[in-house]
């Protein structure tokens, strides 16, 4: 090969090498582009997935916020509808509904006990033995056949014995189950008869206006009343058949029952659900509305359910269990007290009233700051009603040594009442005995601002005191220029008397209240009306 040919070959090799190198570089660039495209595609897909995940997360947070607002709205709706809720409910309890009238429903008998075991059949065991054919007989296999038959019969005998034992066990257990079922049926019938007899006794006692039966019935009424979650619904009742007055001491929820949030909002920048706080004045207004609603609702339920017409007057005292922030001690202040008569209350259209205005028209004592636990004085103390008269013929009254107020002469009774208010901190002076509706005693409350002149009348009555006596007291107050009037009786007051005094500075103390006040100052007494009693 010449020099020229050699050079030509080298050039060809160099060009081929260059081409291969360019192809390799092009392939590398292609692969790099493909990898870059794949990476970008993955990034796009990841961004899309992240975006979708973020969108789902945001949707979840918004849904959570909406759920919080929905729960808040439902709570506020239930709080605002406390009074309206009872207006669509008949609160009367039918005594028949308290009875157990449903027939006894026995538990079903287990299938394993109800159905006998499958009895073994001898033929089922014998049929498993292959019968002898001609060839078996020819080859002398009869003995083997007989052994198989004997084995099958033995298996049958064993199965038959096991069946008999299992059936015996089943029958024993079935008998035990049926005996327990019958015992449960007898117990159910006995319980139903006892319960139904108790209901009959309660109905009879209620119709006779026996105090404990009236209290039991009204307890059932108030316990059936449905309130939102978080309401204590604790109460106690006292009933005076003489004045047909029912006193309710009722535990109300504290101001914490009011949600402190107006609404919830999701703040995307902070990734947090934040609440808009409710103004303190709005909390106060809503709480006062709830307190008023509970009082009106309770009185409504008692009067509406009073199928025996035993109650003419209801006194509602609303209390709150709380911790005094200034002392850290538990307190139980009364924040609302109202007394109303049936006729007056049932004339009110509760569906249209403004609750607090309605209470004011009934002469209620309502705390100006119930959320701050500012107390008011109950119109009637529970214990003043709960200390009932001791009826004539009561054995206990013959055993104790307390003086009977009805044994006092008129002057002694008036002196006792005057002495009572003197011991309670008033400067009392007994007046000349009078039967013309005048003043029996004059007392002076020496406290500044709240004090003043008080006129007192004492009536040793057996029968209910009517409205005329209260009118006389009010007229005497005006004539004497007194700040307050107190009427004390050994009996009770009619609804007209309570109606007349509800918006006036008059306090009515019945026999139970008199015994209570005497007890508070260390004087034990009783009230027993003699058959030939003549009023003062």
Q: Are 517 and 509 in contact (CB under 8 A)?
A: yes
102 and 186 within one domain: yes
Whole-angstrom distance, CA of residue 185 vs CA of residue 197: 18
The tens digit of pLDDT for each residue in 372-393 reads 788 888 887 776 654 433 333 3
Q: Is residue 357 part of a domain?
A: yes
Q: What is the DSSP string of 453-501?
A: EEEEEEE--SSPB-HHHHHHHHHHHHHHT-SEEEEEESS-B-HHHHHHH
Residue 4 is predicted with a pLDDT of 62
CATH number at residue 440: 3.40.1350.10
Q: Is residue 132 part of a domain?
A: yes
| Residue 305: φ, ψ to 5° | -85, -5
242 and 107 within one domain: no
In the chain, how many H helices and how many E strands? Answer: 16, 14
Q: Is residue 58 part of a domain?
A: no
376 and 251 within one domain: yes
Specify the DSSP element, H or E, that contains 443: strand 441-445
Whole-angstrom distance, CA of residue 324 vs CA of residue 221: 32
Q: Is residue 455 part of a domain?
A: yes
Q: How deeply is 181 buried, as exposed, middle or buried, from its count of CB atoms within 10 A (0-12, 13-18, 19+)?
A: middle
Residue 221 is predicted with a pLDDT of 95
**Enclosing domain of residue 147:** 97-207
300 and 160 within one domain: no
Q: Is residue 87 part of a domain?
A: no
Q: Is residue 50 part of a domain?
A: no
154 and 179 within one domain: yes
307 and 177 within one domain: no
Q: Reduced to 3 states, what is the DSSP secondary structure of residue 329?
A: coil
Q: DSSP label at 387?
A: S
Domain count, the chain: 3
**Tokens for 441?**
């005693």
**Tokens for 477?**
């107050």
Residue 396 is predicted with a pLDDT of 33
Whole-angstrom distance, CA of residue 195 vs CA of residue 185: 15
**Tokens for 22?**
């360019």
Last residue of a domain, one of 157, 178, 207: 207
312 and 439 within one domain: no
Residue 390 is predicted with a pLDDT of 36
Q: Is residue 404 part of a domain?
A: yes
In 3D space, the residue among 219, 376, 358, 384 whose CA is nearest the CA of residue 295 turns out to be: 358
296 and 173 within one domain: no
Whole-angstrom distance, CA of residue 511 vs CA of residue 521: 16
Residue 140 is predicted with a pLDDT of 58
269 and 178 within one domain: no
249 and 331 within one domain: yes
133 and 161 within one domain: yes
pLDDT in tens, the chain (536 residues): 566 665 677 677 777 777 788 788 888 888 888 888 888 888 877 877 777 888 888 889 889 899 999 999 999 999 999 999 999 889 999 999 999 889 988 888 888 888 888 888 888 888 887 776 666 665 556 777 777 778 888 888 888 888 888 888 888 988 998 899 899 999 999 999 999 999 999 999 999 999 999 999 999 999 999 999 889 889 999 998 888 899 999 999 999 999 999 999 989 888 889 999 999 999 999 999 999 999 999 999 999 999 999 999 999 999 998 888 778 888 888 999 999 999 999 999 999 999 999 998 888 888 888 877 888 888 877 766 544 333 333 333 333 456 788 888 777 888 888 888 888 887 776 665 444 445 677 877 766 656 678 888 888 888 888 888 888 888 888 888 888 899 998 888 888 888 888 778 888 888 878 887 888 788 888 888 776 555 54
Last residue of a domain, one of 207, 240, 271: 207
Q: Are 362 and 314 in contact (CB under 8 A)?
A: no
Q: Is residue 42 part of a domain?
A: no
The tens digit of pLDDT for each residue in 115-156 reads 888 888 888 888 887 776 666 665 556 777 777 778 888 888
402 and 376 within one domain: no
């Amino acid at each position: 090969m010449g020099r020229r040919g050699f050079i030509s070959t080298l050039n060809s090799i160099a060009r081929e090498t260059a081409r291969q190198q360019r192809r390799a570089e092009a392939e590398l660039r292609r692969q790099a582009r493909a990898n870059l495209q794949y990476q970008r595609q993955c990034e796009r897909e990841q961004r899309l997935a992240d975006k979708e995940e973020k969108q789902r997360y945001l949707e979840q947070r918004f849904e959570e916020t909406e759920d919080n607002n929905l729960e808040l709205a439902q709570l506020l709706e239930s709080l605002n509808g406390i009074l309206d809720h009872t207006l669509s409910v008949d609160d009367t309890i039918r005594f028949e509904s308290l009875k157990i009238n449903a027939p006894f429903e026995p538990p079903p008998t287990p299938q394993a006990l109800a159905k006998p075991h499958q009895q073994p059949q001898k033929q089922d065991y014998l049929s498993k033995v292959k019968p002898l054919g001609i060839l078996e007989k020819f080859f002398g296999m009869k003995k083997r056949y007989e052994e198989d038959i004997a084995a099958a019969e033995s298996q049958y005998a064993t199965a038959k014995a096991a069946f008999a034992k299992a059936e015996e066990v089943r029958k024993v257990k079935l008998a035990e189950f049926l005996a327990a079922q019958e015992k449960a049926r007898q117990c159910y019938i006995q319980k139903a008869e006892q319960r139904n007899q108790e209901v009959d006794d309660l109905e009879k006692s209620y119709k006779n206006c026996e105090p404990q039966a009236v209290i039991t019935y009204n307890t059932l009424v108030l316990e059936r009343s449905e309130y939102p979650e978080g309401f204590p619904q604790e109460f106690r009742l006292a009933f005076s058949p003489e004045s047909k007055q029912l006193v309710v001491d009722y535990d109300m929820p504290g101001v914490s029952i009011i949600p402190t949030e107006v609404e919830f909002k999701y703040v995307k920048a902070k990734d947090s659900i934040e609440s808009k706080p409710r103004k303190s004045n709005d909390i106060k207004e809503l709480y006062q509305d709830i307190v008023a609603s509970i009082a009106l609702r309770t009185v409504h339920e008692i009067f509406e359910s009073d199928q025996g017409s035993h109650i003419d007057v209801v006194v509602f005292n609303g209390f709150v269990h709380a911790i005094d922030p200034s002392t850290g001690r538990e307190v139980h202040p009364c924040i609302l007290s109202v007394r109303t008569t049936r006729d007056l209350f049932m004339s009110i259209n509760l569906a249209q009233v403004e609750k607090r205005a309605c209470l004011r028209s009934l002469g209620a004592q309502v705390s100006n700051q119930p959320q701050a636990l500012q107390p008011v004085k109950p119109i009637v103390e529970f214990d003043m009603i709960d200390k009932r008269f001791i009826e004539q013929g009561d054995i206990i009254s013959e055993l104790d040594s307390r003086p009977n107020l009805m044994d006092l002469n008129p002057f002694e009774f008036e002196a006792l009442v005057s002495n009572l208010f003197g011991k309670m901190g008033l400067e009392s002076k007994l007046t000349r005995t009078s039967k013309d509706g005048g003043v029996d005693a004059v007392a002076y409350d020496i406290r500044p601002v709240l004090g003043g002149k008080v006129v007192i009348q004492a009536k040793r009555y057996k029968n209910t005191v009517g409205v005329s006596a209260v009118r006389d007291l009010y007229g005497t107050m005006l004539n004497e220029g007194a700040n307050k009037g107190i009427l004390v009786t050994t009996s009770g007051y009619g609804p007209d008397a309570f109606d007349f005094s509800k918006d006036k500075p008059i306090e009515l103390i019945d026999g139970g209240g008199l015994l209570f006040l005497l007890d508070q100052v260390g004087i034990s007494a009783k009230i027993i009306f003699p058959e030939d009693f003549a009023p003062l």
